[in-house]
Amino acid sequence: MIKIVTLGTAGSTPTKARGLPSIAIVHDGDVYLFDCGEGTQMQMMRFGLNISKVKAIFVSHIHGDHVIGIAGLLRTMALNNRKDGIDIYVPQGAKRPIQSLIFFDKAIIRFPIAIKEIKAGNVYKKEDFEISAFKVEHSVLAYGYLFREKDRLRFIKDRCRAAGLKNTMFSELAKKGSLRIGKKDVRLKDVTYMQKGASVAYATDTRPSVSTVNAAMNCDILIHEANFMESEAQKAMDRKHSTAKEAAGVAKKAKVKKLILTHISARYRNTKEMLKEARSVFANTEIAQDGSAFYLGKGGIV
């Protein structure tokens, strides 16, 4: 089960209801943060995520509303006697500013911090999932991220029972591809199927882009910024952001299962009309609130 928590869903300015940008993906108990706006550590506590479980932070771009929370989060980790290292992934050219942000007051942080500048492509790999970066279109160098589980071989219970498979036969069949049981040859492909891994794409701050469509193609969930409504489409264009309707267009082209809108401007306290605009293009759209949680299981969205 994968849990996605929208910790901060505001645009550049926080409101009483919305904190600055940060998304958490929880996989096998570990937490992966995408952006870390001011107050992210408080939001994690508020919404029940363990700060000590953060393994890596993936920064979309260097604007302050997406990174200032890193300093406070790392200091809290240090005061909690963290020993494990942490990786921070940033666009090229952003390593020095992030170092300055972290160490400006000579804080005593004893655990290893690795700040890694990235290019488009795979940036993080584990046994059962990987995270890749793709360029988006903003006023500074910025990246979106794609979290994708690897496809898994699954046994079909009824067919395995009928074939007489038991105990160590499963692993033996998986290795050999076929197995003699009694008077029959049992083939792996006849008693298994490939379960498609869960996938989540994250794109903010950005204009609607072909790179996002390509990265998010057939994803379970696309988390996309919606800084403006159509009435201010020109501002969205000038400031290199997206409207809710434009984000919905990206979701439609990418054939995703669900669109989650975030990075909502403080000018929109009531988002009913924004949601209406987005759903006119892509029906399965939600506007995230701080603390909204979404789940992906074996069969997709739960």
**pLDDT tens digit sequence for 252-266:** 999 999 999 999 999
Beta strands in the chain (DSSP E): 2-8, 22-27, 30-34, 54-58, 86-91, 113-118, 121-125, 129-136, 142-149, 152-155, 178-181, 184-187, 192-195, 199-203, 221-225, 258-262, 285-287, 292-297, 300-301
Mean pLDDT of 142-151: 96
Strand partners, 200: 147, 221
Residue 250: give its domain's CATH number. Answer: 3.60.15.10
Task: Say if residue 285 is in the same domain as residue 158.
Answer: no
pLDDT above 80 for 298: no
Task: Say if residue 140 is in the same domain as residue 88.
Answer: yes
Task: Say if residue 241 is in the same domain as residue 136.
Answer: yes
Give the model's confidence band at 299: pLDDT under 50 very low, under 70 low, under 90 confident, else very high.
low
pLDDT above 90 for 251: yes
pLDDT above 80 for 158: yes
pLDDT above 90 for 183: no
Task: Say if residue 68 is in the same domain as residue 200.
Answer: yes
| Residue 177, domain extent | 154-192
Task: Say if residue 138 is in the same domain as residue 240.
Answer: yes
Task: Say if residue 30 is in the same domain as residue 168.
Answer: no
Mean pLDDT of 107-134: 97
Mean pLDDT of 1-12: 96
How many domains is the chain partitioned into structurally?
2
Q: What percent of the chain has pLDDT over 90?
A: 89
Strand partners, 147: 131, 200
Task: Say if residue 116 is in the same domain as residue 255.
Answer: yes
Task: Say if residue 248 is in the same domain as residue 167.
Answer: no
pLDDT above 80 for 294: yes
Task: Say if residue 59 is in the same domain as residue 203.
Answer: yes
> Judging by DSSP bridges, how do beta strands 258-262 and 221-225 pair with one another?
parallel
Mean pLDDT of 215-236: 98
The pLDDT score that the predictor gives to residue 276 is: 98
Give the model's confidence band at 193: pLDDT under 50 very low, under 70 low, under 90 confident, else very high.
confident
Task: Say if residue 177 is in the same domain as residue 221.
Answer: no
The pLDDT score that the predictor gives to residue 191 is: 87
Give the model's confidence band at 113: pLDDT under 50 very low, under 70 low, under 90 confident, else very high.
very high
Q: Known catalytic residues?
A: 65
pLDDT above 90 for 75: yes
Domain boundary among 192, 217, 250: 192
Task: Say if residue 263 is in the same domain as residue 165.
Answer: no
> Are residues 28 and 35 in contact, defined by beta-carbon separation less than 8 angstroms?
no
Task: Say if residue 102 is in the same domain as residue 240.
Answer: yes
The pLDDT score that the predictor gives to residue 195 is: 84
Helices then strands, each counted (H, E), the chain? 10, 19
